[in-house]
Structure 1
Amino acid sequence: MIQERLKGTGVALVTPFTKDLAVDYSGLTKLLDFVLDGGVDYIVINGTTAESVTTTAEEKKQILQTIKQHVNGRVPLVYGLGGNNTQQLVDSFATTDLNGIDAILSVSPYYNKPSQQGIYQHYVAVAEASPVPIILYNVPGRTGSNITADTTLKLAAHPNIIGIKEASGNVEQCISIAKHKPADFMLISGDDMLTVPLISFGGVGVISVLANAFPEKFSNMTRNALNGDYKKAGELLYDFIDINPLMYEEGNPVGVKVLLERFGVCEVAVRLPLVEASAGLKDRLFKLL
């Protein structure tokens, strides 16, 4: 069952760019080796951290193909495919090569701020069209609307919806989902710093930004929590408390790319409207390292 394979640490993979802002496919394979050697459990492709809104359709195809070929079945692959035009999203399944993809991570419709019934109907349409299972993605800070616990639990009854990446920051909402969800419906943390708390009441892991730069340490933290060793997991979590806010201070993945460049994995380059980290942010990150 795919739910068993998607426990633990999924890394929301960045897209490396060269200094002239072309996709750096060599850097991409280097990054894949870095996170796989670090022990992450699965790869999430084409998410927010991948700067998916500024990669072209052709680049998306090539990025996906490169990752599939390089990973070669070693870990599961989750592909980000969402939008705020339901019909266009449904139609995209016919033109996206999902061979070798284990699940779709689909963000709640953004900008148009639909009602809960609109969100529900959107996801039902997507789940009916998708040839692979769907993971809901709730991130109100980006979408402008929240998927409530009640809506999540209604959607959890759909046979092709297998989990939710919860990035609302609303712990009470997450507890309600954990309490009432079907046993095989996955509650996945969408906030690195809430990974251990969510696991403590029923979460199965995280889709992480920090795991790009700290794959071994972050994977160990998640694994300890899943094994019930919250003392050790907490000690590892504390190490991230100062660096985590800097990942987002100037936009994601600006901060984590500074770390990846420092570790010799890929360039710091990001595409507009994001800009490279300021000297001040770099300095604070390097001091923390």
Structure 2
Amino acid sequence: MTSLHGLFVPLITPFTADGTLATEALQRHAHAVLDAGASGLVALGTTAEPSALTAAERAQVLDICAAVCAERGAALIACAGGNATADSIRAIAALPYPVTAVLAVVPYYVRPSEEGVIAHFTAVAAASPAPVLVYDVPYRTARPLSGPTLVRLAETPNIAGFKHAVGGIGASTVELMARAGTRTTVLCGDDRFASALLALGAHGAILAAANLAPAAYAALVDAWRTGDLARGRALGHQLDAVGAAVFAEPNPTVIKAALAARGEIPSAAVRLPLLPASGESAEAALAACAALRPEPSRRAEA
């Protein structure tokens, strides 16, 4: 098991009003989420709109995130790979090392068999210079994985664990945690189910909504990880409104609109095929964040 515990923020990619990469804003935002208690950063996740970035822009984003993490002594998870095994291996090899871990998605669109998924990740992990996290997100990949497959992946050399984002807590999740949760790293990837998965023993989280409320999400992870159950429940209930508001429109449109409204990035711009979030969605997200109330640690009171 790796030491990938805590909150990891999958950073947005801020743009200027004319649509160019806002590098200074990205650097400030990266430092801000670490200042708020995040354990590390995730570069070029779905929230970063990587498919809409040029190769040069993706390299800039990685360089900025790597520099911030090196300066702060924070973990960097870099996203690489896709639905072709050979291309995934080449993409991982091209990453600027060292990175703490590589986040590689379950092959999408082609819908391989579960045996094919295992073969894919066995090859990717064998070729990767860094530990691999399996990004299991079936509502994007159309390839759900069973509990036995997840357990087999957990036992594969150089696979450090999972970003588990399966849209709920079902039998496969319970089986993963019961059979492999003590020897692999499981990071929650569904914002609205983070508290529930942490209660089952997940080691941390990769949460898009943490771009807006990093301190509260860091506190949520810490509460469950340290056994402060009452605080964890209370924070989970509060943060559900944030998660619901953030995903009212396609990610990361609401996050960017809210950050721009707070003056933390220069614009709410996204790139096609995404469209900017509505004002109503941005206001709902801002209101949910403003309503957060820190929960005192019950352990500290004891």
TM over 0.5: yes
1:97-154 per-position Cα deviation (integer Å, ceiling 9, x unaligned): 2x23010011101111111011111111111111100000110111111122211111
1:222-272 per-position Cα deviation (integer Å, ceiling 9, x unaligned): 101111112111111222222312212220001111221133211211111
Query: Which residue identity is paired with 2:43?
Result: I
Q: Which runs of 5+ in 2 are unaligned?
A: 291-302
The answer to whether residue 42 in structure 2 is matched with residue 44 in structure 1 is: yes
Partner residue, 2:246: 247
Query: Which residue identity is paired with 2:140?
Result: R
Q: RMSD between aligned alpha carbons?
A: 1.5
SS at 1:260 equivalent: helix
Q: 1:152, 1:177 within 8 Å by CA — same for their partners in 2?
A: yes
Partner residue, 2:293: none
The answer to whether residue 269 in structure 2 is matched with residue 269 in structure 1 is: yes
SS at 1:218 equivalent: helix
Query: Which residue identity is paired with 1:82?
Result: G
Of the candidates 93, 102, 105, which is equivalent to residue 104 of structure 1? Answer: 102
SS at 1:79 equivalent: strand
Shift of 1:279: 2.6
1:51-104 per-position Cα deviation (integer Å, ceiling 9, x unaligned): 11111111111111112123325211000112011111112233332x230100
Partner residue, 1:20: 18
> Aligned equivalents of 2:260 and 2:37: distance in 1?
20
> Aligned equivalents of 2:33 and 2:243: distance in 1?
18
Identity %: 32
TM-score (norm 1): 0.94
1:188-222 per-position Cα deviation (integer Å, ceiling 9, x unaligned): 11112222221222211110111111111110111
Partner residue, 2:27: 29
Query: Which residue identity is paired with 2:270?
Result: V
TM-score (norm 2): 0.90
SS at 2:227 equivalent: coil
> Aligned equivalents of 1:178 and 1:24: distance in 2?
40
Partner residue, 2:217: 218
> Aligned equivalents of 2:155 and 2:126: distance in 1?
13
Shift of 1:182: 6.2
Partner residue, 1:157: 155
Query: Which residue identity is paired with 1:128?
Result: A
**Residue range with higher mean Cα deviation, 254-263 or 88-97:** 88-97
